[in-house]
Structure 1
Amino acid sequence: MQPSRIWSEIDFQKDGKATGYLRVPISTNASAYGWIPIPIASIKNGSGPRVLLIAGSHGDEWEGQIMLIKLIQSLKAEDIQGHLIILPGANAPAVQVGQRVSPLDDGNLNRSFPGDPNGTPTMMIAHFIEAVLLPGCDLVCDFHSGGSSLEYLPSTVVIAPRSDSQLRQSVDLLRVFGLPVGFATDASTGGDRSLTGACDRVGSVLCLSTELGGGGTASRNLLRAAEDGLARVLHHIGVLSAAPEGSHSGSTQLLYRVRPADFVYSPANGLFEPFVTLGDSVGDGQEAGCIHFTEEPWRKPVTIYFGMGGVVLCRRFLARATLGDCLFNVGRTWTPQ
């Protein structure tokens, strides 16, 4: 793999706590020899697991960004054993404008791996993560939510592992994190171009993700639950020296999200009226909602149906919908073998 053109003042091999920037080179009319700042922290204390924590791959997903900003400020090197690398706003140009993709190149970071060291800014960031940060990692935690357009049932997520040992470890982590729902999905929404694909290429690095609400906001209660869940996971794998306060006593419902081909999509442009809400159990062929027509208010609405039933994991947050927008997806009961 070609060397990255991104550089940083941080020595990732050095013990202690260091904060600074990844510098992504860019040349524009306004800045001929400039660089894009990507905030990063390295917290290292002796030998132990190496964990990469990422948020802001999509710039309008705020919950994980808030979590990791707080973690950078609160953790000291003596609090851990091993190495934490924290990237709270991975696609910084998208974070700055509050959009899913980068305004510089329309780059979706979680669809840009393995990246390109000589490509667009988003491709350079993806390449640096895969070529420099991922090697040697034992675990990656990648924090997502529904962003501006979607709202998710608060969930911990894994891509269905390819080996039995990874499956057992992944299910353990879902349960340790402790959100009410943990779901598995295939790789069809991101495939090899996602961070999970990068983890597989680097050497079967475990990858745990989340869907923490959405709708362009952040819930205090959900943030607290996710912060506690991350602390449990880091203690479970031996990075956090002290056990988190309290204990998780609830159970995690395990689901398998249906394929994108089985999501519910808008059949027309109009106003989306949902008939169900997050967490509802729905049947095959059940009415999901309808689309109303503002320009033809006398026209009858178009009813939308679930193809496959299950638990409603995700819904469109915005009422205005266009042809092809995802309106719902569901998860079905998952019993890992």
Structure 2
Amino acid sequence: MTQTPISTRIDFDKTGIQWGTLNIPFSYNLSGWAQLQIPISTMARGEGPTVLLMAGNHGDEYPGQIAIMKLMKELNLDDISGRIIFIPAINIPAAKSATRLSPLDGKNLNRCFPGNAEGTVTEIMAHYLTHEIFPRVDVVIDLHTGGRGVYFYPCAHMHLVEDRAQLRRMAAATEAYNTDFSFLYADIAGKGLLPVEAENMGKTVVTTEMGGGEVTNA
């Protein structure tokens, strides 16, 4: 773990159910002492893998955000063996603004990894995920849609990683998502991607598309 300006009351090693926020101090024209609060919840019971379930990487992609919030309310602790970290809207400024990019710094969170603890708000978010969350988890599930401008046929997708054991785990997780359509990226579409950062750390990573076009049936 590294130094980060983000604080939280969540104890990631604690069993049971916790609700809280990731708190990022920042300043802007209306306040020199503002604080950005990102909702987060954890459920932990017994032995088992740790899964990060997140959405809102791009703020205008709402179905995944809604689905995670519903799951947070409906899932019982007795239903799990291991730990789930829920972050329904990691890019909360963009989610509140219905924009793909953060209105605070104009950055695309999914192009900011591994992040910068002394950077902009979006870069600080990426740094926290890279250094504080990813090391704690075994599986990363990042829910996306096409946002306002695109509709994606519901699917799961993954990258072609070099490690064969990791590739098999990712393929099994992608298949378990149980959509009619899934695919494998043979190349990487850009730099600073969240899934690539997690993959480079050996995590089982699945990314999904859940429609888009300002339409949701979540």
TM over 0.5: yes
TM range (shorter): over 0.9
For 2:76 and 2:8, locate their aligned partners in 1 and report how far apart those are by CA, in whole Å.
Answer: 21
TM-superposed deviation, 1:153: 1.4
Counterpart residue number, 1:207: 205
For 1:187 and 1:96, locate their aligned partners in 2 and report how far apart those are by CA, in whole Å.
Answer: 32
Q: Structure 1: which 5+ runs fail to align?
A: 224-337
TM-superposed deviation, 1:120: 0.4
Q: Is the 1:44–1:77 Cα contact (8 Å) retained in structure 2?
A: yes
Change (3 A) 1:25 1:186: farther
Indicate the SS of the match to 1:131. Answer: helix
Match of 1:184, as an amino acid?
L
Q: How many residues align?
A: 218
Counterpart residue number, 1:14: 14
CA offsets per residue over residues 135-194 of structure 1, 9 Å max, x none?
031110000111111111111111112222222222222222110000111443234x11
CA offsets per residue over residues 218-248 of structure 1, 9 Å max, x none?
13xxx4xxxxxxxxxxxxxxxxxxxxxxxxx
Match of 2:175, as an amino acid?
R
For 1:38 and 1:74, locate their aligned partners in 2 and report how far apart those are by CA, in whole Å.
Answer: 20
Task: Spell out the pairing of 1:117-266 with structure 2 (5 A cutoff).
Answer: 117-191=117-191, 193-201=192-200, 203-219=201-217, 223=218
Q: Is the 1:170–1:206 Cα contact (8 Å) retained in structure 2?
A: yes
Counterpart residue number, 1:111: 111
Counterpart residue number, 2:49: 49
For 1:150 and 1:28, locate their aligned partners in 2 and report how far apart those are by CA, in whole Å.
Answer: 32
> What TM-score does the superposition give when structure 2 sets the normalisation length?
0.95
Counterpart residue number, 1:5: 5
TM-superposed deviation, 1:2: 4.0
For 2:187 and 2:5, locate their aligned partners in 1 and report how far apart those are by CA, in whole Å.
Answer: 29
CA offsets per residue over residues 243-271 of structure 1, 9 Å max, x none?
xxxxxxxxxxxxxxxxxxxxxxxxxxxxx
For 1:156 and 1:200, locate their aligned partners in 2 and report how far apart those are by CA, in whole Å.
Answer: 16
For 2:5 and 2:186, locate their aligned partners in 1 and report how far apart those are by CA, in whole Å.
Answer: 32
Greater length-normalized contact order (CA 8 Å, ≥ 6 residues apart)? 2
TM-superposed deviation, 1:31: 2.0
For 2:126 and 2:138, locate their aligned partners in 1 and report how far apart those are by CA, in whole Å.
Answer: 19
TM-superposed deviation, 1:47: 2.4
Counterpart residue number, 1:232: none
Indicate the SS of the match to 2:183. Answer: strand
Match of 1:214, as an amino acid?
G
Match of 2:69, as an amino acid?
I
Q: Is the 2:159–2:188 Cα contact (8 Å) retained in structure 1?
A: no
Q: Is the 1:17–1:76 Cα contact (8 Å) retained in structure 2?
A: no
CA offsets per residue over residues 297-332 of structure 1, 9 Å max, x none?
xxxxxxxxxxxxxxxxxxxxxxxxxxxxxxxxxxxx
For 2:16 and 2:195, locate their aligned partners in 1 and report how far apart those are by CA, in whole Å.
Answer: 28
CA offsets per residue over residues 198-234 of structure 1, 9 Å max, x none?
2133x21010010111101113xxx4xxxxxxxxxxx
Q: Is the 1:62–1:147 Cα contact (8 Å) retained in structure 2?
A: yes
Match of 1:216, as an amino acid?
E
> What TM-score does the superposition give when structure 1 sets the normalisation length?
0.62
Counterpart residue number, 1:293: none
Q: Is the 1:110–1:190 Cα contact (8 Å) retained in structure 2?
A: no
Q: Structure 2: which 5+ runs fail to align?
A: none
Change (3 A) 1:142 1:187: farther
Indicate the SS of the match to 2:12. Answer: coil
Q: Percent identity?
A: 36
Counterpart residue number, 1:70: 70
